[in-house]
Structure 1
Amino acid sequence: MRIELSSVISHRLEDVVAWHQRPGALVRMIPPALGSVEDPRQGGIEDGTRVRTRLGPAQLGGIRPEWTLEHCDVTQTPTSFSFVDAQVTGPFRAWRHHHHMEQTDDGASTRLQETIDLRLPRGAGIGERIAAGQVRRMLDFRAAQLEQDLDLHRRLAGAPRLTVAVAGASGLIGTQLTALLSTGGHRVLRMVRGRRAGEGEIAWDPAAGVLDPSDLEGVDAVVNLAGRSIATRMTARAKHEILASRTSSSGLIARTLAQLARSGSGPRILVQASGIGYYGARRPGELLTEDSAPGEDVLANVCRSWEEQMAPAAQAGVRTCAVRTGIVLTDAGGALAPQLPLFLAGVGGPLTSRDAAISWITLDDMARSYVHALLTDALDGPVNAVAPQPTTAGELARTLGRVLHRPSAVPVPPFGPRLVLGREGARAIVETDQRVSGERLRASGFQAAHPELEGALRHVLRR
C-alpha cells in the first residue's frame, strides 16, 4: 500500500532541514498518544542513524511494542533534501517513509512531499482503507506541527540561544518542551533523580535538598516542572506529597539560583509551572487575571505555596515567571484522555455543570508558552497560559462530540469522578468553574497556534 501527501511549509528549506536534523524533531512529529521516542536526546538524520520508539502513550502504561527505524538514502542538493525512514523491527510487515523537501521558486517556502510504502501485519484486523486514512491524518498532524513550531522559532529568532536545565523533563509537558527547545537550537540539560547523571543531565535530589551549584554554572535558565501528579485520589498522604514535591523542588532551585546570582554566576532566568488552580476551583461569574486573589481549596494552597518558593531567586535578581497552566488538551493524558472512551462508546457528555467555564490550552501551545516565557525578557511574575477564548463544559462536550462524530448528551454522573478522585479531588479538579484571562501572555507577543476550540480538538485528535 502506498500513501502520498504533499504540503507547503511557509519557511525556507534551510530552516526546515535544520529543524529535522536537531534532537527533538521526532518527538515533535509523533502524536504523544501514538508513541514516544526511547531516547529523546538523540537526533540527526544521517545515513545509518537508528531511532527506537515505543508505541502507545507512556502516561497510560501497559505493554508498548518497540518500533525501530533507520535513516537512509540521504541526498542533498542546493535546492532539495531527501531521506528515508525504514523499519528495522516493529509492528508492520514493511514500512518505508520517503521525505523529499524542495525549495519553492521564490525561496521563501518549502514543498514537502511524503511517500509511505506500507505492508500491514497479517491478521491486523484493520482494512487498508482505514489504515491509509489514519496514516494520512498523522502526516497532516506532522505538517501542522512543523509549520507551527517553525512559526514560533521565527518569532523568537532574535533571542539568544540558551542552555536550559529542565526539571520534570520526562513528564507530558516536559517531553514536548525539551524537544521544542532542541529543535529551536537551544541546549537542554535534564535534571534527573535517583541515579547518576549521564551525558546532558544534572543529578539532584530535591527531597534531600541536594543540588550542586557547580552543575548550574554555564546554564542560562532553569525550567521547573517537577511535582507529583494531581490526577489522584486526594488522601491526606497524596495531598502532602503533591505539596511537598513542589515546594521542595522549587525552594531548592530558587535558593541555589540565588546563591549563584550573588556570586555573579549561574542562571538568570527561572520559569516554573503553576496552575490556574491558584484561583480556586469555583469562581463563577468572574474573569480571573494574574492580579485576582487566590482561592482557598487544596490546589489553590498548593499553587500559592509553590509560587512563594521562587522568592529567593527573584530577590537575588533572577527573572522569575510562574506559568499558571490551564486545562491541557491532549489525548495522551490530562483531562481529555479519560473522556475519549466514553465519547467513542456514544455515552459522552459534560463532566460538570454545562455552564461552568473551562479555561483550556493544547499541549503544544502549552510547551510553546514555556519557550516564549524563557525568551521574553519583559515577562516576569505570574502569567496565565490559556487559550484566548474559554469555553463551557457544555460547549466542550458538544464540540468534542462533533469532532468525533459521536453524541454528547449524557452528562457524567458526579459519583464517577468522586469514586476515582475522592470528593475533595473531584471538586478541585473536575467540578471547576474558572474563566481565566490569557491577555497578559498575548500582550507579551505570544501567538497561540490553536486559539479556537474546534480547530484545537481536530489537531489534538487528528480529525
Structure 2
Amino acid sequence: MPVFERETYLPFARHDVFSWYCRPGALTRLQPPFAGSVVQEPPEGPVDGAESVITLNPPGLMGNSAKAGIDLLGTLLPMSPQAAVTWRSRHEDYEHDRGFSDVMVAGPLKSWRHQRRFEDSGEGTLLKERISYELPVLKRLPRAARQMTQQRFEKELERIFTFREHQTIQDLAFHQSHGSLATQQRHERSDTQAWLEPHEDSTHARINVVAVSGATGMIGTQVCALLGGAGIEVRRLVRPESTAGSAERGDSQPSDDTAIRWDPEAGTIDAEALAEVDAVINLAGEPLAAKFTPEHKQRIQRSRIRGTRLLAETLVRLEQADDRGRALISGSAIGWYGATGADRTHTRTPLHEEDPAGTDFLASVCQQWEKEADAAAGEGVRVVTVRTGIVQSPSGGALARQLPLFAAGLGGPLGRRQVLSWISLDDIASLIVHLTLDSRAHGPVNAVAPHPINGADYARTLGAVLRRPAVLPVPSLAPQLLLGKECTREMVLADQDVSAEKALSLGFGYRHPSLEQALRHVLGR
C-alpha cells in the first residue's frame, strides 16, 4: 500500500495548533478552493466517531477549469450539472493535544487513512502526517502506468498540503495578532470556544458571539470559519426554507440549531436570539453577475436594502434596551465610486472612502445600502461598511469565469488600461473579521489589496501563474452575451483605482499584497 508522508514546522505552541485544528471552521480553512469544498465539518471537532463530508474537484488546471465551466453553465441552465465527487470521512485515534486520524468511509479511492501527530519542536510544533492509500483499479494497470498515476496523485497531494501549510501559519498568526489563540484567551468556555476579554487599552472589541447573514456564500463561508478559529461563537442568519433563491444569496438553511431566523421581505427577525450577539456581519444579497434587467435590478436593491434596514433597526432597539456596544459590519462594494471616470463627479485618484458616490446603477445601490447601515451609527451601534473589490478565487467570481479560457490558451485582457482593484478571498475574509474585532473601525473601509493592477497586467500575471499565453484580447461582446451590456460595463470593464490606505492604517496585515501571490495560493500553483 502506497504511503505519503509530510512534516510541517509551525512556529506556534502545540496546544495552540491542536486547539485550532479542533475549533469550528478548521476544515473549511484547510480545504483549498482549487481542490473542492466542505459540506459538513465534524460537529464537535475530530474526536473519535465524528464524521466530515467534502466535495473534490477534478484535479489539475484542466480539472479546475472544467469545474469552473460547469458551474458557469449551471447558472444558465434550469438544472445544475455536477463536476465534483463526494468524500465522507470518519475520525479515529483522537488524543488531546497529540493527534487524530481520519479514514475514508465513502469516496473515490479504494482506501485512505490520514494520521496526524503534533509534537513539540523548540518553541513551535512539528506536525507529522502519514497517509496510506489505495487508488482504484491501479493493480490492473501496467507497472509504468501505475507509477505515473501514483506520482501524479502524490503531486496533487503536495499541492494541497502546501496550501494547508501556508493557511495554517497565516491563520494562527492572524489569531495571535488578535489575542485569540487558545493560550491567549483568559476564560475557557469549552474545548472549542472562549470568551475574549481584552485589556482596557486594547483596540480589540469584546466579541463573543457573532451573527452572520450570507453565511453560506463564498465570502461568508470563510468569514464564519475564521471566526470559529478565533474561538468565537457563530450564529447564521437564515431565511425560511421556502424562500426562493436563498441558496444563491448565501443564506440557505443550515443544519445547526443556533441559527437565527429572519425574513427581510416580511420584515421579521428573531430579535430575542439576536439580542445575544455582540456583532452582526451582513453579507447577504442577490448575486450581481447577471443581465441588469429591471427585475434583476430590483432584486439586487431589495435584497440589500431591506435586509440591512431590518438588521440596523433591530440592533438599535436592542442597544437601547441593553447597551452592549454592538457592532454592524455591513457589506458594500467599490461600485460606490462609479464604474468609470464618466460616472463620477470628480477626477481624483486613487479613490478614497471620503469620495462621493458615483452616478451609475451600482453606485446608487451601494449608496442606499450604506445609508441603511449608517442609520444605526448614531444610536450606539458601531457601524462599518466594507467596500469590497474584485475577489480572487477559483470557487466563484471573475477568476472562475476566466479559468476555462486561460486553461485552453485563449485567455487575454478584457481591456488593457482600466484599473482593477482586487483582493484575495483570504484577505477579504480576514479583513471583515479584523474590522469586527477592532474597536477603532468605523464608517466605510475599502476592501482592496494595496496594489491595484491594470487589465493587461492582470491577464499577463494570470497567464504566467497558469503557464498559459495571455495575449488574445477578449472582445467586450463575449461577456455582454452572458451578462448584458450594462452589467459588463459596470463590473467587467470597470476602471476603479481604489486606495487600501484606511485598512492599512487600522493595522490590517495583508496575506497577499501582490496579485501573483494571491493567484498562486488560491490556484495551488
> CA offsets, 1:349-402, max 9 Å, x none?
112x21211111100111000110000001100000111111111111111111
Q: Tell me what 1:18 maps to.
A: 19
1:298 aligns to 2:361 (yes or no): yes
Answering whether residue 496 of structure 2 is matched by residue 438 of structure 1, we say no
Contact 2:42–2:52 (CA under 8 A) maintained in structure 1: no
Partners in 2 of 1:374 and 1:176 — Cα distance? 14
Deviation at 1:219, TM superposition (A): 0.8
Match of residue 193 from structure 1: 239
Partner of 1:120: 135
C-alpha distance in structure 2 between counterparts of 1:43 and 1:421, whole Å: 43
Q: State the TM-score, normalizing by the size of structure 1.
A: 0.94
Post-superposition offset of 1:285: 7.2
Partner secondary structure for residue 302 of structure 1: helix
Q: Distance in 2 between matches of 1:183 and 1:433?
A: 36
Alignment of 1:308-387 (within 5 A): 308-351=371-414, 353-387=415-449
Per-residue Cα deviation, 1:405-449 (whole angstroms, up to 9, x for no partner) = 110101111101111111000001101111111110011010011
Q: Secondary structure at the match of 2:48?
A: coil
SS of 1:135 mapped into structure 2: helix
> Deviation digits for residues 41-68 of structure 1, max 9, x if unmatched?
8241111211122334799353343211
TM-score, with length taken from structure 2: 0.84
Q: Could you say which residue in structure 2 is the equivalent of 1:62? A: 81
How far off its partner does 1:267 sit?
6.5
Unaligned runs of 5+ in 1: none
Match for 2:281 among 223, 231, 236? 223
Judged with a 3 Å threshold, the aligned counterparts in structure 2 of structure 1 residues 218 and 121 are, in CA distance, closer, same or farther, namely same
Q: Name the Cα RMSD after superposition.
A: 2.0
- Is contact 2:388-2:447 (8 Å) kept? yes
Q: Could you say which residue in structure 1 is the equivalent of 2:520?
A: 458
The equivalent residue for 2:176 is: 154
Report whether the alignment pairs 1:90 with 2:112: no
Larger mean CA deviation between 109-118 and 51-60 belongs to 51-60
Q: Which amino acid aligns with 2:14?
A: L
Q: 1:24–1:43: 8 Å Cα contact kept in structure 2?
A: no
- The percentage of counterpart residues that share the same residue type is 42
Secondary structure of the equivalent of 1:320?
Answer: strand
Q: Which moved more, 1:5-14 or 1:54-63?
A: 54-63
TM-superposed deviation, 1:265: 4.7
Question: For residues 375 and 405 of structure 2, what CA distance do their matches in structure 1 show?
Answer: 46
Query: Which has the larger displacement, 248-257 or 23-32?
Result: 23-32
Give the superposition deviation at 1:461.
0.3
Q: Write the distance in 1 (CA, Å) between the matches of 2:41 and 2:421.
A: 30
Which one of the candidate residues 193, 197, 208 is aligned to 2:266?
A: 208
- Which amino acid in structure 2 is aligned with residue 62 of structure 1? P
Shift of 1:4: 2.2
Letter of the 1:350 counterpart = P
Q: What SS is found at the alignment partner of 1:336?
A: helix
Matches within 5 A, 1:32-181: 32-40=33-41, 42-56=43-57, 60=71, 62-63=81-82, 64-76=84-96, 81-105=98-122, 107=123, 109-122=124-137, 127-157=149-179, 158=198, 159=204, 160-181=206-227
Amino acid at match of 2:105: V
- How far apart, CA to CA, are the structure 2 residues paired with 1:216 and 1:100? 40
In the TM superposition, what is the alpha-carbon distance from 1:147 to its structure 2 partner?
0.7
Is the Cα–Cα contact under 8 Å of residues 325 and 380 in structure 2 kept in the other structure? no
Count of residue correspondences: 457
Change (3 A) 1:411 1:118: farther
CA distance in 2, matches of 1:266, 1:67: 43
Relative distance call for 1:50 and 1:417 in structure 2 (3 A) is: same
SS in 1 for 2:377: helix
- AA matched with 1:373: L
Structure 1 counterpart of 2:178, one-letter code: L
**Which amino acid is 2:134 matched to?**
R
Counterpart secondary structure, 2:375: helix
**Further displaced range: 342-351 or 119-128:** 119-128
**Contact 1:222 1:267 (8 Å CA) reproduced:** no
